[in-house]
Amino acid sequence: MSVVLIVEDELLELEFLKSIVVEELLPTDKVVTCESGIQAVKAAKQYRPNIIVMDILIPEMDGLQALQEIRKFLPQACVIILSACSDFFYAQTAIRLRVQEYLLKPIKPAVFKQVFRDLLATVAPCQVQDDEELMEKTPDQIYCIEKSLQYIHDNFKQKLPLQLVASKVFLNPQYFSRIFKKEVGVTYIDYVNKLKIEYACKLLETTDYPAYRISSECGFTDPSYFNRVFVQQMNMTPKAYRRKQLCDSEDKG
């Protein structure tokens, strides 16, 4: 999960920045806002943001002073500094505080959006590693996987997107996908499709349903996709599978 801290004392500017940031984040990510340097330090301690958007000219403690305090406990956070002036001292201090971007006001929406998007992309790989390390230390990991497997087995006959199952165990979908592959040994979609095709085989053996109905009974919304998945797993079409089962039954009889 990404946490973004926006520090800006001008309300309109704050709303402008927040609206762009929210557009680029996932629903599980968090945006925290504040209006002064002291509030920024407190918020950073409480929420541990991995991205900080910081105006320089803010009340109580300017943005660079606040960042200096924040760097003591969040040395790896990515920072975008906003400034209304191009004073070399500010830029020099920002470099010393390892600021990733230094933007001059007024900021064009397209420019800020691109800068934030690029920064978010660089944060993502580190976030993945942090999440994995955290989960290794979490005793609930096995419980989450077991609970998700139970839900899958109870509901695989209907459309079952990964996002839905992840929500049942209160995990970010991307994160859930990674730990599922790690613990179960196959991807989520391969696991669910295996259950669906096993059930399809049973229906082909015990009913005279046409392939399109079996596709629907197994939770596929597209019969042609069902056919492709079936061939991938069984090395034959559903029709060929049914014919083979009938021939095998006759030979045994």
* pLDDT surpasses 80 at 253: no
pLDDT at residue 7, rounded to an integer: 95
pLDDT at residue 128, rounded to an integer: 47
State mean pLDDT over 43-64.
91
Structure tokens at 148: 């998700």
Please report the DSSP string for 140-173 in residue order. Answer: THHHHHHHHHHHHHHHTTS---HHHHHHHTT--H
**Which of these, 158, 221, 224, 230, lies nearest to 201 by C-alpha position?**
230
**pTM of model > 0.75:** no
Lowest-pLDDT range of 19-23, 89-93, 203-207, 239-243: 89-93
Could you tell me which residues come within 8 angstroms of residue 5 by beta carbon, excluding any fewer than 6 positions away? 32, 33, 34, 40, 43, 44, 47, 49, 51, 52, 53, 54
pLDDT at residue 123, rounded to an integer: 74
pLDDT band at 54 (very low <50, low <70, confident <90, very high): very high
Domains of the chain: 3-132 (3.40.50.2300), 138-253 (1.10.10.60)
Whole-number average pLDDT of the chain:
86
- The residue with greater pLDDT, 14 or 170, is 14
Angle at the Cα of 142 from the Cα atoms of 138 and 143, rounded to 5 degrees: 95
* pLDDT surpasses 60 at 12: yes
Tens-place pLDDT, residues 140-194: 677 788 889 999 999 999 989 998 998 888 778 888 888 888 888 899 999 999 9
The four Cα atoms 183, 185, 191, 194 give a dihedral, to 10 degrees, of -150
State mean pLDDT over 103-130.
77
**To the nearest 5 percent, what fractions of the chain are helix, strand and coil?**
60, 10, 30
- The residue with greater pLDDT, 103 or 206, is 206
Tens-place pLDDT, residues 207-238: 999 999 999 999 998 999 999 999 999 999 99
pLDDT at residue 142, rounded to an integer: 78
